[in-house]
Amino acid sequence: MWIGRRLDGTVYGAWTNKQPADEHHPGMEEVSDNHPDVIAFMNRPRPSIIDPVDELRLALKADPTLLDKIKALK
C-alpha cells in the first residue's frame, strides 16, 4: 500500500499503486495494508456530498404546478 504523507505527518491519500513523484504526490511511502495510518485514513469521517437536485425535488413536491411552469419557459 502506498500513502502520501504531508510534512506535518498526516496522510492525505492511499493507493494500491505507487503514484508519480510529482508536486501532486509529495511524501509517498510504502506501508503494509494493515498499517495503523492506512486503517485510520480509510476509516476517517468523510464529508457528505450535497445533491444539487435535492432543492429542485423539494420545490417540485411543494408546488405541483412548478414543473408545468418550467415546461412553459421553452
Q: So where are the chain's domains?
A: 2-72
State the pTM of this model: 0.62
Q: Residue 50 has what pLDDT?
A: 85
Specify burial of residue 35 (Cβ count, 10 A radius: 0-12, 13-18, 19+). middle
Count other C-beta atoms under 10 Å from residue 4's C-beta: 18
* Per-residue pLDDT reduced to its tens digit, 1-25: 999 999 999 999 999 999 998 999 9
SS3 10: coil
* Per-residue pLDDT reduced to its tens digit, 33-51: 999 999 999 999 998 888 9
